[in-house]
Every structure is written in structure tokens, then in C-alpha cells.
Amino acid sequence: MLKTILKHQNPCRVIGSRFKTSSVQYVESRARDATFEKLMDKYKNLLKVIAIQDLILAIPPITLLRSPLISSPSSPKSYISTVAPPLFSEAEAINASLPSVVDRLVRLLSMSTTKSLPLRAVFKVWRELGLPDDFEDSIISRNPHIFTLFDAHEPNTHILTLADEMRDERFVTSVKNWRVTECWMRLRRDFKAKVKEWQRLPYVGPYEEMGEKKRSKAGVMEVEKRVVAVVHEFLSLTVERMVEVEKISHFRKSFAIDLNIRDLFLDHPGMFYLSTKGKRHTVFLREAYERGCLIDSNPVYSARRKLLDLVVLGRHAMLTNESRSVETNQTENPCLKDENGG
């Protein structure tokens, strides 16, 4: 981890003293990571398939067999038998881990300053959080002692909030006391003092109140450090430790984030990686990945990676040599380890 931080971290950016550039220039000047960029190249095609996946799951099986969506030289039955397992295994994995799903949603609400969130914001990231597609019924309605849903003052807007007895819950964060690993020992002398200054700042966790904001330089840096903790925890709650930056922006008000989220990710490249592939900005939690694979895997992630592998194989290869190709790919893909083995 130290080697990775030293490679990607710019000490000037760590403490928010980057050179004055436009947002576009700042994004373009970032250091590229070939591993994450290669992964996002695959995800570009997967995002297109997900839309079709949702349509397939909504079509009755008999109707699906006659659908032009699956017209091919191979039989519809063969096509479905190849694609269906990863499509349905994700839903099965989610349903098998509902307690974890509830915990993620509780943690998300607990990071809000009001312990509540607009339901539309949660809908923006329901897939990233690994929520069931019917989470309003299967999670919220079935747990009235945990969640409350009520109308907001705006038309067609609902607010999801934690029940009173859940508001004093104490959580252990994914990073108890974030700081730059002792990389300052290898930095140039003029940067060491600045990094030490950042490390000495008090740490306010994502589930804690920030308190009164100070206008001093130290106060601004304290706010930034808390925001780093919040977005780090947010990414830790996602199934794949990644999310589109635009989706995080829907939580800025609730999480009391006054900083430019995209610039924050660029300011801390040792912790976050920002990709612009596919005409969208996607941020990864860098420490969660190794060689393009999630280090601590989970069943939902594994199901999604299997679907990604099918997309990467290509439609023709999948239809003409589905069984052998899929089996070989699952064996060779280091991401597809069993859940017990990581």
C-alpha cells in the first residue's frame, strides 16, 4: 500500500494546495492508472448490457423465447441458459444477504446530518449498494422499527429516515483514523511539514457531528479531512467499491459536503482513483482493488463479474462456444474466487 501511495500521491494535493487550473485541465492532468482504465473499458459495454438485463428480467419466460432480443443462430434456450445464471445469481446473492443490506442502508442514513435522506437519492445508488430492486417493500416496509418513510414538503418526494431508537447506533468505520501512511519519510523536506500538518488535524468520523466550522486554514483542512472520511465510507458501503461521481453529488447536502467532490478525488489520488471512461466520471476506492479485482470479494460482486466476463467474451463467442469459454474464463479470471477465499 505504501508503494501505491508513493506512486500516485502528490503531497501538494493532499493538503489542498494544488496549482490553480480549470476543472477540465485538472481532470486531464491526473495520473492515469492503466489497470483501472482497462477495467473501465470493460464496464463501458457492461453498462449497455445492464439495460437489456433489466428488460429481460421483466419479460415473462415464454414471451422472452420469442423476443427479437435473443434472435441468433443458436437456439433461444441455449442463449438463456448461458446468460441467465449470472443475471439471476445476483438477485439470489442479494436476497441471501439481506441483513448486510439493511446494515448498509442504516449506515448510509447515519452519515446524514439529519439521519434521513431523500428516497430519490437512495434510488440513484440502489444498485451500487446492492439493494433489492424492490427494496421499498422488502427492506423498508418490512423493517418499520428501523426505517420510516414519509412525504416531504416537495411534490412526489419522500424522505427515508432512521427510527429514533436507531439514531444512537455506533459504527466502526472502514478507516478509523485516516491519514497518509508514513510516506512523508520519503518525501522532499519542503513537503514533510505540510503532510505532518494534515496528519495532526483532528479526525471527525463520517458518523460524527462536525461541529462549528472554522474559517482559518486549519479549519478548512479539517472540513476537507471529514469529507474525505465521508466519501471513503460511502465507497466502502458500495458492493464494488466504485460509483459515478454524479451520483454522489445527490448526497452533498445531506452529508454537509461543501467541497467540489470531483476535485476532492483528484486531490487525494492515493486513496481514490477517478476514471473518465465512457463519458462518465467514476471513482474507485483504490485500496480495495488489486490488479483490477476487488480484494475482499462478496457474492454480489462475483455475480456481476461473471456477467462482465460474458460481455467481454463477445456475443459470437458466447453463442458458439458458451460452455467451454465460460468455464475457462471463470477458471482463469483471478476475480472469480470463491467467497471464502476472497
The answer to whether position 222 is within a domain reads yes
Contact 105/119 with Cβ under 8 angstroms? Answer: no
The answer to whether position 271 is within a domain reads yes
Q: Give residue 326's pLDDT.
A: 47
* Model pTM score: 0.78
Sole residue written with cell 463477445: 314
The answer to whether position 94 is within a domain reads yes
Per-residue model confidence as pLDDT tens digits over 295-331: 999 999 998 888 888 777 765 455 555 445 444 444 4
Q: Report the percent of the chain where pLDDT is more than 70.
A: 68
Distance from C-alpha of 245 to C-alpha of 282, rounded to nearest angstrom: 6
The answer to whether position 232 is within a domain reads yes
Per-residue model confidence as pLDDT tens digits over 79-128: 455 555 666 788 899 999 999 999 999 999 999 999 999 999 999 999 99
Listed in sequence order, the residues at least 6 apart from 214 whose beta carbon sits closer than 8 Å to its beta carbon are 220, 222
Residue with the larger pLDDT of the pair 265 and 197: 265
- pLDDT-derived band at 51 (thresholds 50, 70, 90) equals confident
The answer to whether position 145 is within a domain reads no
The answer to whether position 220 is within a domain reads yes
Per-residue model confidence as pLDDT tens digits over 161-184: 999 878 777 777 776 544 444 344
Q: Give residue 227's pLDDT.
A: 92
The answer to whether position 275 is within a domain reads yes
Q: Give residue 306's pLDDT.
A: 86
The answer to whether position 110 is within a domain reads no
Q: Give residue 307's pLDDT.
A: 82
pLDDT reading at 76 higher than 50: no
Distance from C-alpha of 47 to C-alpha of 260, rounded to nearest angstrom: 26
Q: Give residue 6's pLDDT.
A: 43
Structural domain containing residue 300: 32-44+82-98+187-314
Per DSSP, the three-state class of 219 is helix
- Count of structural domains within the chain: 1
Residue with the larger pLDDT of the pair 237 and 208: 237
Beta strands in the chain (DSSP E): 116-118, 147-151, 158-162, 242-244, 272-275, 282-285, 289-290, 293-294
Distance from C-alpha of 15 to C-alpha of 195, rounded to nearest angstrom: 7
- Quote the DSSP letter at residue 142: T
